[in-house]
Structure 1
Amino acid sequence: MEISSNSSTDLRNFFGSAQSLVRATSTGRLDIMGGVADYSGSMVLQMPIKEKATVTIGHRNYNQLHIKSLDLTENNEVFIDLEELPRDYEEAHKYLFEIEGGDWASYLVGCYLVILKEKNARLGGLDILIQSEVPFGKGVSSSAAIEVAMFKALGELYSIDFSGTELPLLAQKAENLVVGAPCGLMDQLTSYLGKPNYLLPILCQPDKVYPSIKIPDNLYFVGIDSGIRHKVGAASYGDVRTAASMGYSIIAQNLGVSKQDLKVAESNLLPYSGFLSNISPSQYETNFSRLLNSMYGKEFMNDFVVVTDPLAHVKADTYYNIKASTEHPIYENLRVRLFTEMTKVLNNHNYVDLLPLMGELMYQSHESYNKCGLGDEHTDILVEIAHAKGAKSGVYGAKITGGGNGGTVCLMVYGVKGLLTAKEILNIYQKETNQEGLAFFQS
Structure 2
Amino acid sequence: MKINSSTNPIIQSFFGPNQLITQCSSPGRMDVMGGIADYSGSLVLQKPIKEKATVSISIRNYNQLHIKSLDIEKDNEIYIDLDEIPKNYEQTRHYIKSLPGGDWAAYIVGCYLVLAKEKNLKLGGLDILIQSDVPVGKGVSSSAALEVATLKSICELFSIELTDTELPKLAQKAENLVVGAPCGLMDQLASYFGENTKLLPIRCQPDILFDLVEIPENLSFLGIDSGIKHAVSGASYSEVRTAAFMGYSIIAQKHGINKAQLQKLSSENLPYNGFLSNISPSQFESNYARNLNSMYGKDFTHDYGVVNDSLSQIKPDTFYNIKACTQHPIYENFRVSSFLELLKIVNKNNFIHILPLMGELMYQSHESYNNCGLGNEMTDKIVEMARRKGFESGIYGAKITGGGSGGTVCLMVYGEKGIQSAKELFAEYKDLTNQESLIFIE
Q: TM-score range by the shorter chain?
A: over 0.9
Shift of 1:399: 0.1
* 1:85 Cα offset (Å): 1.1
- Provide the residue aligned with 1:18 in structure 2: 18
Q: Cα deviation per residue 1:238-292 (whole Å; 9 max; x = unaligned)?
A: 0000000000001111111111110211111000000000000000000000000
8 Å contact from structure 2 (residues 6, 17) kept in 1: no
Measured against aligned partners, the alpha-carbon deviations of 1:372-424 in whole angstroms (never above 9, x if no partner) come to 00000000000000000011000000000000000000000000000011111
Map 1:7-406; keep pairs closer than 5 Å. 7-406=7-406
Q: Which amino acid aligns with 2:419?
A: L
Quote the Cα distance in structure 2 between the aligned partners of 1:282 and 1:354: 24
- Is residue 428 from structure 1 mapped to residue 428 from structure 2 by the alignment? yes
CA distance in 2, matches of 1:135, 1:340: 28
Contact kept? 1:19, 1:59, Cα under 8 Å: no
Distance 2:40 2:433 in 1: 34
What amino acid maps onto 1:392 in structure 2? Answer: E
Do 1:87 and 1:113's aligned partners in 2 also have CA atoms closer than 8 Å? no
Superposed displacement of residue 118, structure 1 = 0.6
> Which amino acid is 2:178 matched to?
V
> Secondary structure at the residue paired with 1:317?
coil
Instruction: Tell me how far apart the structure 1 counterparts of residues 40 and 359 of structure 2 sit (CA, whole Å).
Output: 23
In structure 2, what residue type is equivalent to 1:370? Answer: N
Give the drift of 1:4.
4.0
Partners of 2:345 and 2:22 in 1: how far apart? 42
In the alignment, is the contact (CA less than 8 A) between 1:225 and 1:407 conserved in 2? Answer: yes
Contact 1:383 1:398 in 2 (8 A): yes
Unaligned runs of 5+ in 2: none
Deviation, structure 1 residue 6: 5.7
1:189 offset after TM fit, Å? 0.2
**Secondary structure at 1:123 match in 2:** coil
Letter in 1 for 2:13: N
Q: Please, what TM-score do these two structures have when normalized by structure 2?
A: 0.99
For 1:104 and 1:136, the matched residues in 2 are separated by 10
Residue ranges of structure 1 left out of the alignment (5+ in a row): none
TM-score (norm 1): 0.99
RMSD: 0.8
Q: How many residues align?
A: 442
- What's the CA shift for 1:350? 2.4
Letter in 2 for 1:181: A
Task: Describe the superposition over 1:68-118 as per-residue Cα deviations: whole angstroms up to 9, x where unpaired.
Answer: 000011110011010001231111100011111000000000000001101
Q: SS of the residue aligned with 2:2?
A: coil
Would the aligned equivalents of 2:362 and 2:398 in 1 still touch at CA under 8 Å? yes
What is the CA distance between 1:351 and its match in structure 2?
2.0
Offset, 1:436: 1.2
Name the SS of the counterpart of 1:337 in structure 2: helix
Query: Identity over aligned residues, as a percent?
Result: 63
Kindly provide the CA deviation profile for residues 294-320 of structure 1, in whole angstroms up to 9, marking residues without a partner as x. Answer: 100000000000100111110000000
Inter-CA distance 5–64: structure 2 relative to 1 (3 Å threshold) = closer
Deviation at 1:347, TM superposition (A): 1.8
Give me the whole-angstrom Cα distance separating, in 1, the residues matched to 2:259 and 2:89. 27
* Counterpart residue type for residue 80 of structure 1: I
| Residue identity in the other structure for 1:341 | E
Amino acid at match of 1:116: A
CA contact (8 A) 1:86 1:95 kept: yes
CA contact (8 A) 1:181 1:232 kept: yes
Q: Distance in 1 between matches of 2:369 and 2:192?
A: 26
